[in-house]
Structure 1
Amino acid sequence: MRIDILSLFPEMFTGPLTESIVGKAVKKGKLDIKVTNFRDYTTNKQRHVDDYPYGGGAGMLLQVQPIYDALADIMQQTKTKGRVILLDPAGKRFDQSVAEQLSKEEHLTFICGHYEGYDERIRALVTDELSLGDYVLTGGELGAMVMIDATVRLLPDVLGNEQSASGDSFSTGLLEYPQYTRPAEFNGQKVPDILLSGNHQKIAQWRQKEALRRTWLRRPDLLEGYPLSIEEQQMLAEIKMQEHE
């Protein structure tokens, strides 16, 4: 996969994209990341990439020309447009399902905005508009880092254990079940006996039930679109009775 990033602050990406899982993916040759300062494409002498909005109003808007030319240069290099993602508070909310879709692409380009907003004509250049949530950041860089991290970890052979991603919270539609490691007892808190039993069938049932319990208690909204099996319906009924006792 190739990922291009258009940003006025390319140095912000140096640490996050060279360490941990993303950095390992680059070293393995699974990922190629290019960060471009689109200020380099401005045509005015002052190297401005923003200007006042027509009709008046607060703040400054990013101009379309530098971003248009930067994207054209990237397309010339890669011979493909791929998915072009605009980081914007008005965009679709990014979630695990979006990360899974993006992980199947060969080329992604993230446009990180700043200032008050975008010249509306920039939106005609993109395929997707995405947002992390209902709040506003100083710029799109942090949002792009989060989306890239969530996407890259889903690439084949990037994680050490291929089952790690498939069992994550939200990948299954539920929050992840509780997990434990050594020691078996710490400060009077013991690992559940079922996890020490060696009975893999019962362990799987316990994990599914606890995933349901955690989801129902913390994020019941996730269950609204989750297709419960008959066994899971029975588990959830037991959970509700236990929690109300």
Structure 2
Amino acid sequence: MRFDLITLFPRMAEGYLQESMLGQATKKGLLEIGVHDLRDWSQNKHKTADDRPFGGGAGMLLSPEPLFHSIEEIATPGAEVIYLCPDGEQLNTPLVKELAQKEHLVLVSGHYEGIDQRVRDALVTREVSIGDYVLTNGTLPACVLIDCVARYVPGVLGEEKSLTQDSFHDTFLGFPQFTRPAEYRGMKVPEVLLSGDHAKIAAWRREQSYLKTKERRPDLLENSDTEGHQ
């Protein structure tokens, strides 16, 4: 799977994308990740990529010219062009799974007051937000999206079973997990996890997931099948 990130701050992304799971998956050839400096497509001598908005107002906007040139050069036929912005659709597990079916994602990081609307109208195919808050630019949200989507690319996680234990995979939040030692500072691991009875362990985990979700995110239960947990 191919990811390309267009940003004014490539160094913000490069370190993150070269580490841990993403870095290993790239080395193995499971992922291709390109990070591009938007200024490389600027046509003026100062290599600026922004300007004042028509109509006045605070801040600056990313100009259409470098964005059009960069996206048109990088995007392959059928690529999903995603603009990371606070007013986009919420990033969640169903959306991540949908994006993981794509062969190529081009991610556009906004800055200042955003990007020229003509880019959004003509080239952007999807607008995504990682939450109801505002960051200084869209580079970190783009890294978050890459991280989420990459987990669904076969072979990236190594142990695919990890996906089925994630929070939100089946609506419920994740269950508590423990490792050695079985007792630490007077705190003991639940006996059921030491029993070797896999059916009982699975039932305990389902129950704990339900209880945590009911306490912390009851909204997730509204549209889920909670039969057997009452």
- Structure 2 length as normaliser, TM-score? 0.96
Task: Give the corresponding residue for 1:240.
Answer: none
Among the aligned pairs, what percent are the same residue? 48
C-alpha deviations, 1:136-156, integer Å up to 9, x for none? 101001111111111112210
* SS in structure 1 of the partner of residue 101 of structure 2: coil
Structure-2 separation of matches of 1:81 and 1:126: 12
Task: Give the corresponding residue for 1:104.
Answer: 101
Q: Which runs of 5+ in 1 are unaligned?
A: 238-245
Aligned pair 1:114/2:108, yes or no? no
Does the 8 Å CA contact 2:14/2:35 hold for their aligned counterparts? no
Letter matched to residue 211 of structure 2: R
* SS in structure 1 of the partner of residue 222 of structure 2: helix
Structure-2 separation of matches of 1:59 and 1:181: 50
C-alpha deviations, 1:139-186, integer Å up to 9, x for none? 001111111111112210111211101210011110011111111111
* SS in structure 2 of the partner of residue 6 of structure 1: strand
* SS in structure 1 of the partner of residue 15 of structure 2: coil
Task: Give the corresponding residue for 1:168.
Answer: 166
1:44 positional shift: 2.2
Structure-2 separation of matches of 1:157 and 1:166: 15
Task: Give the corresponding residue for 1:20.
Answer: 20
1:203 aligned residue (196, 201, 207): 201
Q: What RMSD over aligned residues (CA atoms) do the two structures have, in Å?
A: 1.2
Task: Give the corresponding residue for 1:150.
Answer: 148
Aligned pair 1:189/2:187, yes or no? yes
Moved over 3 A (4+): none
Structure-1 separation of matches of 2:142 and 2:66: 19
Aligned pair 1:44/2:44, yes or no? yes
Structure-2 separation of matches of 1:156 and 1:85: 22
Tell me how many residue pairs correspond in the alignment. Answer: 229
1:60 positional shift: 0.9
Q: Which moved more, 1:46-55 or 1:207-216?
A: 46-55
C-alpha deviations, 1:216-235, integer Å up to 9, x for none? 0111111112122x32xxx2
Letter matched to residue 146 of structure 1: V
C-alpha deviations, 1:60-80, integer Å up to 9, x for none? 1111111111111113xx4x2
Structure that is richer in helix per residue: 1
Task: Give the corresponding residue for 1:58.
Answer: 58
Structure-2 separation of matches of 1:147 and 1:132: 8
Letter matched to residue 9 of structure 2: F
- Structure 1 length as normaliser, TM-score? 0.90
- Counterparts of 1:50-89 in structure 2 under 5 Å? 50-75=50-75, 78=76, 80-89=77-86
Task: Give the corresponding residue for 1:243.
Answer: none
